[in-house]
Each structure stands twice: as structure tokens, then as C-alpha cells.
Amino acid sequence: MQGAGIIFFLIFVCVLVRDAGFVKRNPDDLRNRVVGSRLIKDGYSPYFYKWKNGDGIRYYDPKAFDTLKVSNITASPFFHHLLYPLAELSQREISVWWLVIEYAMFGLSVLMALALSATAPQKLLVFISGGLFLLTEGWKVHVLAGQNYLFVPFLAMLFYYFFNRKKNLLMAVLAGLFAVTLVLVRPNVLIFFIPFLLLHKHYSKSYLIAFFSPVVLICILTLADKKERSLWIDYKLSIVEQIKLHQKLSPLGRVNDRDPHYVKWEGMDREEMNRLAENNPVPIYSENGNVFVIAGMLFHRKIPVMVLTLASIVCLFSLLVICLVFQKRKKMYTLAEIALISYCFYMVTDFFSPVYRWQYYTVQWLFPIMVASSAYKPSQRKWFFIAGAGLILNILNGGPIPFKHTAGEYIMLVSFITLSLATAHNKEKQALN
């Protein structure tokens, strides 16, 4: 156990040193979040904003110049509000703090998983899976791009941790707070909470009232504010345009001002960034694991968005029916099993998304990896080996085997679903014997 902890720490430090070198390269996607936060803070909607001569450096994003009407700002209004404490810093300072935040979220997720682990093998698995996770291509690309997808598993982990604590009202309020935060950061994660309804009989009315109090309060505050409602409407409209862009369905265009090509802005130096890219290139092995991408490659046909949506609904409905069948057979779900199945619900919608999944989406697997590791039982050994193989495929790059990362993600999806159902089947057999 101690050896595993030391190896995990060494991996953590080595990867951190590598990732710290990315700060000078301008994490591309982080900039549009910063600009979005500043625009909302200044009273503007960011979703169809285009930089104009005279706007200066405050809203400048070198990756935002194109011929589209929709901007490259895609995060939710709520997420941009979360960035307010950093928004007035320079881009270089924000990049440093963002790296700190990413590692803090990862470290806290591992610590929560360790706190939920009751046995030495569970703690060992948390260290092993956590160390392997840092070595994935998804983690590297996420840090390099300054992306925000790590917030999904982190907030899910916070919700799960407090929902798993003693059934007192404070824990309920905290669980509800992180649940609504998660949905407001990434709205389609709402699907994650549906299977948790199977557990409602195990919680008192007072607990449920405490849980839903922050949910209702924050939703009311959001809906009551006219400017906030307007932002969410613009956000929805921008998603429609983003889907058109990704599906090549003729998104709306316009004539936009050209990039002034600032050499130095907010601590970033274009010449230094170009020099780093030339002298120390970082190889990127990014794959798009969407269903529509895979289907297009196999059948050489474009899958309509409506078909993707219907297929996603069918998959989710099938999973829900399976959950209800086991519930009807008096099978008592553990919270870990519900959490794994629930998160797979969300990941199904992610795979069926009409918007391209880049490699940094892989970091979203942190939550089920930590939950499964912290709740490990020896009878689950086979499925852990299979899920581990999926994780390792996301570390390997190059070679003759194509789409290793994508295959690894789908292996993890099937493994985590089967892990819960196989446990349920074993319990049922034991009850019959």
C-alpha cells in the first residue's frame, strides 16, 4: 500500500512538471472561457460576440477569428460566473491558476475516493487507477488546451461523496448544492440523476427537503433574473449553431473584423509561443469517439441529428428498463452501483452527441474510475481487469492499432455498466441458493 502511494506521488509530480511547461503555450480553449466571463461580467452576452476593432485586448482571443455568426464561447452562463474571481487577472496568471485548479480537482477526487475506501485493496486500486489516469492522452490534451471538462467528474464526485455520508441535513444540503452546480455547469448531466430516483425510499422527507432546497433556490434565482434568462436563451441558440457547424449544416455566417495579431497580450508572447511549438513540439494523438463519427467511417453515410437523438433515447430507455427489472426483483442497489450506472447514462448522451468529442473529453471518466475503485469487491476482479485495459488503451499512442483511445472509452463504458449488473446478478444467485 505504501509503495503504491509513493509511486502515485512520483507520477503526480512528474506529470505536474511536464504540464507546468504548457502554461507558456497559451492554453487555447481557456481564453474563450475568460473572454466569456469578462463579457458577462461587463453586461454583454458572449455567445454571438465577435471581436471588433476598438475592443482591445480585454476580449481578444486569437482563436476566435472566423466567418461565423456564433462565437467560439461554448461554456454555460453559470460556468462563466464561476470564473469571476480569475477574470480580471492577466491570461498568463489565469493559465497558472487554471493548472493549479485542475490538479486540485484531481487531487481532491483521489482523496475523496480514498476516504470512501474501506479496505486496503480498494485504496490500492484508487492509487493505481489515479496514477494511470494522469498518464492518459486525454489528461495531457485537457491541460494543454486549458479545458474545463474535469469539472464534470469533480462535481459529480463532490455530490457522491456528500450523498454517501451520514444522512444528516448538512450533508444533504451540500449534496444538493453540488448536484445543481453540476447541472448548471453542463446541463445534459441532468440525465445522471435519473437512476438515483430508485433510492428515494431510503431517505427521509426531511433529508430530501434539505437536498432539494439549494436546487430550488438556485434555480429560482436563475430564472428570476431577466439578464440571466437572456443569457441561457442565447446559450441554447448558440448550441444549435454549434451543432450545425459540427454537422456541416450551413451555420449562419457574417463578415467579422480581422485578427490584429497582437505580439504581446496579457503576459502572452506570440513569438515565444511559436518558438516553443517549433523547438519543443508536443505530439497530440486526438480521436473523435462520437457514434456519428464511427458510424460514418463504417457505413460511409452521414447520420442525421434526429437519428442520433432517437438512438440515444433508445439506449437510455433500455438501460433504465434493466435497472427497474433488477429493482423489481428486490435487488438492493448500493450507492456505488447506482452512481456507476447513472454516470454511464450521461456518457451515453456524450457518445451520441452531434458535437465532436475531442480527446480531452476522456477526463470525464475520472468519476466512475474513482467510484468503482473505492467500492471494489474481489468478485468484480474480471471486470476491473477489462476496465483497466480500457484505461491503458487511453495511455498508448501510435502503433498499428487505430482508434485505441476510442476503443478504450467504449470498453470502460461497457465494463462499468456490466460491473453493476454483474454484481446484481451475483446477489440474486446467492439469494436463490
Angle in degrees, CA 34, 269, 262, rounded to 5: 75
Q: What is the phi/psi pair of residue 265, to 5°?
A: -155, 125
Torsional class of 399: left (φ above 0), alpha (ψ -120 to 50), beta (otherwise): left
Q: Are 173 and 212 in contact (CB under 8 A)?
A: no
Side chain identity at residue 191, one-letter code = I
Task: Please give the pLDDT value at position 430.
Answer: 42
In this prediction, residue 278 carries a pLDDT of 85
Report the candidate in 365, 369, 402, 362 with the shortest Cα–Cα distance to residue 383.
Answer: 369
Contact 310, 349 (CB under 8 A): no
The whole-angstrom separation of Cα 174 and Cα 251 is 41
CB 270 within 8 A of CB 63: no
pLDDT value, residue 294: 94
φ, ψ dihedrals at 308, nearest 5°? -60, -45
According to DSSP, residue 257 is labeled P
Question: What domain count does the chain have?
Answer: 1
Q: Kindly indicate the confidence band of residue 274, based on its pLDDT and cuts at 50, 70 and 90.
A: confident
What 3-state class would DSSP assign to 268? Answer: strand
The C-alpha atoms of residue 257 and residue 53 are separated, in whole angstroms, by 7
Burial class (CB in 10 A: 0-12, 13-18, 19+), 66: middle
Beta bridge pairs of residue 265: 268
What pLDDT was estimated at residue 420?
A: 83
Higher pLDDT: 72 or 432? It is: 72
Which region, left, alpha or beta, applies to residue 77 given φ > 0 means left and ψ of -120 to 50 means alpha? alpha
- Average pLDDT (109-134) is 96
Name the burial class of residue 403, with classes exposed (0-12), middle (13-18) and buried (19+) by CB atoms within 10 angstroms of its CB. middle
How large is the C-alpha radius of gyration of the chain?
22
Whether residue 146 has pLDDT greater than 50? yes
Residue with cell 467511417: 297
Q: Mean pLDDT highest for which of 49-58, 100-109, 217-226?
A: 100-109
Q: 237: pLDDT confidence band, cut at 50, 70 and 90?
A: very high
Higher pLDDT residue, 399 or 181?
Answer: 181
Kindly tell me if the per-residue pLDDT of 396 is higher than 90.
Answer: yes
Confidence at 43, pLDDT banded by 50, 70, 90: very high
Judge whether residue 328 has pLDDT over 80.
no
What's the mean pLDDT in 161-169?
88
| Per-residue model confidence as pLDDT tens digits over 50-88 | 999 989 999 999 999 999 999 999 999 999 999 999 999
Task: Read off the pLDDT band of 246 (50, 70, 90).
Answer: very high
pLDDT given for residue 331 in this prediction: 67
Average pLDDT for residues 236-261, to the nearest whole number? Answer: 94
Tell me how long the chain is: 433
* Res 398 pLDDT > 60: yes
Mean pLDDT along residues 285-289: 91
Mean pLDDT score of the chain: 91
Residue 417: pLDDT band (50, 70, 90) is very high
Comparing C-alpha atoms, which of 77, 17, 76 is closest to residue 41? 77
Confidence at residue 432, expressed as pLDDT on a 0 to 100 scale: 32
Confidence of residue 332 (pLDDT cuts 50, 70, 90): low
Per-residue pLDDT tens over the stretch 345-383: 999 999 999 999 999 999 999 999 999 999 999 888 888
pLDDT more than 70, % of the chain: 96
Q: Which three cell numbers stand for residue 414?
A: 461497457
Residue 230 lies in domain: 2-432
Give the pLDDT confidence score for residue 431 in this predicted structure.
39
